Amino acid sequence: MGRLESGAEKQAVTDTRNYQPAADVLQGRVILITGASDGIGKAVAQAAAAHGATVLLHGRNVRKLEAVYDSIVAAKQPRPSIVPLDFEKAGPEEYEKIATALEQQFGRLDALLHNAGMLGERVPDVVEFNPSWHHNYCSVGFWSAERTAVTPHYPATNPELVALTTALHALAYDPSAREAYKRDAAGYASGLSAEHAELLEKGDFKGITALGVHPLVSFLARMQLERMP
């Protein structure tokens, strides 16, 4: 790809509001879409197929998946595949079987849209281990290489990132936190690790996001701060 220049050419590339993908932009790509039987998943599956992708349609309702399958075939787009699986009831063995089947049939996976499931409450009750949230939202973790040793169900949480995310969340939603940050950014960030405190004090939200913080949290914090007089 050539070097991007400033001006109209750069604007055409970066302005997603006017982006028009080529008809074959996804030609030859293999894309797995969970929750493809309805709603957003269905729409994305049909759009991806229309742009040349071979889509793998995941869902619990086979009848609905077959309807999406038929609509793609009727449009003379690449023939999709159906991957029926209930994340709430499935275990490692079921995930392993599907991963093996996909490897044998397609040899690769170019993209995954993990659209299935719903979050419900903004903050899930991890202590009570709500199965709907954990299995639907976190099941993508099972799509991995074969494990040779027992591992935790989820990776350990970095407490320093939790503290940083909490501070950012307060900036996004709490006016008093934003006032405290404006008065004394260093003081506001004093409870964080040295690296995180330095980034927050400087307002380096791009650097913060690069650490692994959810980009939406960083964006909302920065937006609310910029709106302050």
CATH number of the domain to which 105 belongs: 3.40.50.720
Task: Point out the residues of the chain with pLDDT beneath 70.
Answer: 1-17, 117-157
Tell me how far apart the alpha carbons of residues 194 and 192 are, in angstroms, rounded to a whole number.
6
Residues 118 and 84 in one domain: yes
Whether residue 128 lies inside any domain: the answer is yes
- Write out pLDDT tens, residues 33-84: 999 999 999 999 999 999 999 999 999 999 999 999 999 999 999 999 999 9
Whether residue 18 lies inside any domain: the answer is no
Q: Give residue 200's pLDDT.
A: 94
Residues 134 and 45 in one domain: yes
Q: Give residue 29's pLDDT.
A: 93
Residue 45 and residue 36 in contact, taking contact as beta carbons nearer than 8 Å: yes
Tell me how far apart the alpha carbons of residues 83 and 101 are, in angstroms, rounded to a whole number.
10
Residues 48 and 135 in one domain: yes
Residues 60 and 123 in one domain: yes
Q: Give residue 198's pLDDT.
A: 94
Residues 80 and 120 in one domain: yes
Q: Vertex 101, ends 100 and 106: CA angle to 5°?
A: 105
- Please give the full DSSP string across 76-142, using - where no structure is assigned: TPPP-EEEE--TTT--HHHHHHHHHHHHHHHS---EEEE--S---SSS--TTTT-HHHHHHHHGGGG
Whether residue 11 lies inside any domain: the answer is no
Whether residue 12 lies inside any domain: the answer is no
Tell me how far apart the alpha carbons of residues 195 and 74 are, in angstroms, rounded to a whole number.
55
Instruction: Report the C-alpha dihedral over residues 142, 146, 152, 155, rounded to 10 degrees.
Output: -60
Residues 163 and 219 in one domain: yes
Tell me how far apart the alpha carbons of residues 12 and 166 are, in angstroms, rounded to a whole number.
37
Domain count, the chain: 2
